[in-house]
Structure 1
Amino acid sequence: MTFLRESYIVFRRQMRMNLRNPAWVIIGMLQPVLYLFLFGPLLKPLADQFGADNAYTFFVPGLLVQLGIFGAFFAGFSLIAEWRDGVIEAERVTPASRTALLVGRLMRDVTQLFVQALILIGLGYVLGMRASWRGVVLGISLTLLLGAACAAASNALALSTKSEDVMAPVINMVMMPVLLLSGILLPMTLGPAWLIRASDFMPTRWVVDAVRGSFDGTFASSAMLWGIAWTLVLFTGALWWGTSTFRKENA
């Protein structure tokens, strides 16, 4: 109970800060919405080529994962500002669990992501997406776990670099291959054999396939199992990295 209370205290403070300045939340939501309205119509004539009955049922899950990855990757920038203002050191002298300091922030990031996901999915239904509620629930669950993993990794990277000038190019370097090799915008089956083979080594590609499968109602498949497995592996690894970084004495 103490751990949950400590996590909630951190979460409540972080949410208050975000509500005072919701710019990052709005910016993080704007990109997938623009993709949905501007890029989505271009996919309609191509839907038959990659075996999709409905272009938005194919496209929205990819944007959902994009929102979970790229939105959460920027969570660490606010942590650098807190470290510079002495907030992190002030928290570390308290008896609060180091894991709670991280989990409270992850609760904020997951809450933001959940609200953004609901907005994105609601717009998808308005534009003609067809997906069962069970598939949507599973897809959102996988996205929230992946978003928490990316946010934990972002926080760990922030405390390791302590510099926006270092962190920004590192994130950009990671984001480009993730965007291109995960099949977020277009299916990897449209690419040459060597590109498809390269995407097999990208964990987020399997998560994207799993979320798409859930929206399409395909629950019993190897892609679904691989997607769930990779989501759990990424979440566990990132949570361990983030917690260990918070525990370092020189953090």
Structure 2
Amino acid sequence: MSFFSTLQLYYVRKVKESLRNPGFLFMAVGTPLMYLLLFAPLLKHLTGMPGFTGGNVLNVFLPGVEVVIAVYGGLYVGFGLVDEIRQGIIERFRVTPTSRLALLMGSVLRDVSAVLAQTLLITVLAIPFGLEVHWGGLVVIMALLAIISALFAAFSYALALRMKSEDAIAPIIQGISLPIMLLAGFLLPMEMAPHWLQVAALFNPVYYAVEASRALMAGHMNAPVVLQAFAMLLPVTSLVFWWAIRSYKTAVA
């Protein structure tokens, strides 16, 4: 069986798994709604504050939320792989000629698809709340989100293959995700932070993705931060995928 046939079969299998999970479907719809209904109204009095000078609070808030969805949409997928390891599914792949890269990519593409579907959903839902969408910018935002979700999904899968235990990977994911998200300025712009926090954020690739998404949502397609975001994320994603592929080849050798 060719690589692309294996990839297609495994991707379809993973998508069907997700669609059969009521919890997954509820969170896919519920999470964007909760951000819009329960947090966005708190920001309406921040117009004119640093980072909110454009006059539209949602155009600053929503791109950050979309990056959050991409990060967490990738980070926690490893828990499902741990369950597959426990059930012996990964072990059974050892005796098949299945492409190990296709197994990884099939899962990652499922995770990317889920994130992009949520992105479209929350964007459409936010329009009645006052969001002003630049559709060309949204296309580039979705490319950024695809890279981010693929990066963190590959990391999560590699971690699961190494640790083989939810108890082992949970504290690592928590310890990594919290500083990444706090230093990304995903809910409130980093312009409101002290200078030392703004400097620390410059070493966080996700910060550039948040800033680029806000620029793109406003229609600033040529903003320097857009190129910076891709320049920061692509090398990191390549390194993580290299590690994830090695982990799959070792686990399914």
Match of 1:125 among 124, 127, 139: 127
CA distance in 2, matches of 1:216, 1:193: 25
Report what 2:192 is aligned to. 190
Kindly state the Cα deviation for residue 179 of structure 1 after the two structures are TM-superposed: 1.7
Q: Which residue identity lines up with residue 174 of structure 1 in the other structure?
A: I
**Residues 166 and 81 (structure 1), Cα distance of their counterparts in 2 relative to 1, 3 Å cut:** same
Match of 1:232 among 228, 231, 234: 234
Q: Which residue identity lines up with residue 73 of structure 1 in the other structure?
A: L
CA distance in 2, matches of 1:63, 1:209: 12
Match of 2:146 among 136, 144, 147: 144
CA distance in 2, matches of 1:31, 1:106: 20
Report what 1:201 is aligned to. 203
Q: Which residue identity lines up with residue 36 of structure 1 in the other structure?
A: L
Cα deviation code 1:33-84 (max 9, x no counterpart): 3122211111121121122321111111100000000121111100000000
**Residues 249 and 192 (structure 1), Cα distance of their counterparts in 2 relative to 1, 3 Å cut:** closer
Kindly state the Cα deviation for residue 109 of structure 1 after the two structures are TM-superposed: 0.7
CA distance in 1, matches of 2:251, 2:31: 38
Q: Which residue identity lines up with residue 5 of structure 1 in the other structure?
A: S
CA distance in 2, matches of 1:64, 1:28: 12
Q: Contact 2:158/2:244 (CA < 8 Å) preserved in 1?
A: yes
Match of 1:57 among 48, 52, 59: 59
Moved more, 96-105 or 22-31: 22-31
Q: Contact 1:25/1:112 (CA < 8 Å) preserved in 2?
A: no
Give the TM-score normalised by structure 2: 0.94
Q: Contact 1:203/1:230 (CA < 8 Å) preserved in 2?
A: yes
**Residues 250 and 108 (structure 1), Cα distance of their counterparts in 2 relative to 1, 3 Å cut:** closer
Q: Contact 1:153/1:239 (CA < 8 Å) preserved in 2?
A: yes
Give the TM-score normalised by structure 1: 0.95
Q: Which residue identity lines up with residue 38 of structure 2 in the other structure?
A: L
Match of 2:86 among 74, 84, 87: 84
Q: Contact 1:92/1:98 (CA < 8 Å) preserved in 2?
A: no
Identity of aligned residues (%): 36
Q: Contact 1:156/1:241 (CA < 8 Å) preserved in 2?
A: yes
Q: Which residue identity lines up with residue 162 of structure 2 in the other structure?
A: S
CA distance in 2, matches of 1:95, 1:163: 26
Q: Contact 2:137/2:216 (CA < 8 Å) preserved in 1?
A: yes
In structure 2, list runs of 5 or more residues that go unmatched.
none
Report what 1:9 is aligned to. 9
Task: Give the secondary structure class of the aligned counterpart of 2:47.
Answer: helix
Kindly state the Cα deviation for residue 8 of structure 1 after the two structures are TM-superposed: 0.9
Report what 1:222 is aligned to. 224
Q: Contact 1:110/1:147 (CA < 8 Å) preserved in 2?
A: yes
Q: How many residues align structurally?
A: 251
Q: Contact 2:211/2:225 (CA < 8 Å) preserved in 1?
A: yes
**Residues 126 and 92 (structure 1), Cα distance of their counterparts in 2 relative to 1, 3 Å cut:** farther
Report what 1:74 is aligned to. 76
Report what 1:243 is aligned to. 245
In structure 1, list runs of 5 or more residues that go unmatched.
none
Q: Contact 1:210/1:228 (CA < 8 Å) preserved in 2?
A: no
CA distance in 2, matches of 1:114, 1:210: 17
Cα deviation code 1:188-214 (max 9, x no counterpart): 110111111111111100111111111
RMSD: 1.6
